[in-house]
């Protein structure tokens, strides 16, 4: 950062007993601190940050945290030791320690949380549990109920393949039935990956594209060694398995609470079928919070901040202005 009070640094911090990676960027350390909780589980957004984040840095200090068994944190530890500890309980404890660290580092009473996809689960549960530490919660691609998410996404993919009369895709999808399953198994992971591939084909979910690959290769934040993580195929099957089991068996935000003690904002792509718009909207409409607003982003899917950068930024900056007053 060129500004005297700015920050541009990556660091490893002891969180939950292991070394975890944080990257801080912003024009002014006195601005609100926004902790970006990435999705997956196991899918950091730092290698794509250059594609969407720079305008944010005038208004907030953005902190990317590469979670347990993810990205740079993965390479800093022994995966065999870390994998058994990669649970929802530990993820929440890690979040608590990261937020506490940021409060001290920036001398700020509360931190702004932005949770994307899986990060929206972590962000929601943390905000409900520790409202005194959170300035406001922003859900992007908000997950309300993982089982319902997958059921609706599956039906939509089937509908799209029938519309274009693609018999091969119809047969592939029908072969996945019953989908999803409450019991999380190797077979369920394979079904999930097959569905994501077809959802990507019909523009219903994020899929690796040449543009995304080039973005990672050109990332100022990721070295060639770090990029190796993006090529690993067993992130879901093994390294994040305990979290996925929890998500499919029991995660339902409706059953947790709809009462929040801090401002809550959702930014959601209208074409997002990976975390269906309708589920997020229905839950949001009945939740109670001191301040709340839902931002619908047209012609945007699951990666809303990449699909419609300007509209996303308008929403984000509006939120930042609201919480300052």
Specify whether 233 is located in the same domain as 177. no
For the cut 70, the answer to whether the pLDDT of residue 262 exceeds it is: yes
Specify whether 15 is located in the same domain as 93. yes
Specify whether 260 is located in the same domain as 171. no
Specify whether 59 is located in the same domain as 179. no
Tell me the per-residue pLDDT of 214-256, one tens digit each, with 9 for 90 and over. Answer: 888 889 999 888 888 877 655 555 678 889 889 998 899 999 9
For the cut 90, the answer to whether the pLDDT of residue 73 exceeds it is: yes
| Euclidean distance between CA atoms 275 and 280, whole angstroms | 8
Specify whether 180 is located in the same domain as 311. no
The owner of tokens 């984040």 is 53
pLDDT at site 173: 94
**Counted domains in the chain:** 2
| Euclidean distance between CA atoms 320 and 318, whole angstroms | 5
Specify whether 189 is located in the same domain as 236. no
For the question of whether the overall pTM of this predicted structure is more than 0.85, the answer is yes
Specify whether 57 is located in the same domain as 114. yes
Is 275 within the bounds of a domain?
A: yes
For the cut 60, the answer to whether the pLDDT of residue 185 exceeds it is: yes
Rounded to an integer, the average pLDDT of 119-138 is 98
Is 208 within the bounds of a domain?
A: no
Specify whether 137 is located in the same domain as 278. yes
Instruction: Provide φ and ψ at 206, rounded to 5°.
Output: -65, 135
Tell me the per-residue pLDDT of 28-56, one tens digit each, with 9 for 90 and over. Answer: 999 999 999 999 898 999 999 999 999 99
User: Which domain covers residue 73, as residue numbers?
Assistant: 7-145+224-324
Q: Could you give the strand order of the β-sheet that contains 7-15, starting from the edge strand earlier in sequence?
A: 7-15, 18-26, 61-66, 33-37, 111-116, 134-140, 264-269, 292-297
């Amino acid at each position: 950062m060129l500004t005297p009070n700015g920050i541009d640094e990556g660091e490893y911090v002891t969180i939950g007993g292991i070394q975890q990676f944080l990257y801080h960027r912003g024009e002014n350390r006195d601005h609100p601190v926004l902790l970006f909780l990435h999705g997956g589980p196991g899918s950091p957004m730092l290698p794509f940050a250059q594609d969407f984040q720079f305008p944010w840095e005038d208004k907030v200090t953005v902190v990317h945290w590469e979670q347990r068994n993810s990205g740079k944190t993965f390479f800093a530890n022994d995966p065999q030791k870390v994998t058994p500890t990669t649970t929802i309980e530990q993820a929440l404890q890690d979040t608590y320690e990261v937020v506490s660290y940021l409060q001290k580092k920036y001398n700020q009473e509360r931190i702004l949380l932005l949770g994307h996809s899986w990060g929206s689960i972590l962000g929601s549960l943390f905000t409900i549990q520790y409202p005194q530490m959170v300035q406001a919660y922003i859900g992007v691609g908000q997950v309300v109920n993982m089982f319902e998410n997958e059921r609706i996404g599956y039906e939509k993919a089937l509908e799209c393949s029938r519309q274009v009369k693609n018999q091969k895709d119809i047969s592939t999808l029908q072969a996945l039935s019953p989908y999803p399953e409450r019991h999380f198994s190797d077979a369920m992971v394979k079904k999930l990956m097959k569905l994501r591939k077809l959802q990507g084909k019909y523009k219903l979910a994020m899929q690796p594209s040449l543009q995304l690959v080039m973005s990672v290769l050109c990332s100022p934040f990721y070295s060639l060694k770090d990029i190796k993580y993006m090529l690993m195929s067993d992130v879901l099957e093994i390294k994040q398995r305990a979290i996925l089991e929890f998500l499919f068996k029991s995660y339902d935000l409706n059953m947790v609470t709809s009462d929040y003690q801090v401002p809550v904002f959702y930014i959601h792509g209208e074409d997002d079928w990976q975390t269906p718009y309708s589920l997020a909207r229905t839950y949001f409409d009945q939740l109670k919070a001191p301040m709340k607003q839902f931002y619908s982003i047209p012609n945007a899917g699951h990666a809303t901040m990449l699909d419609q950068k300007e509209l996303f930024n308008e929403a984000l900056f509006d939120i930042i202005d609201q919480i300052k007053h």
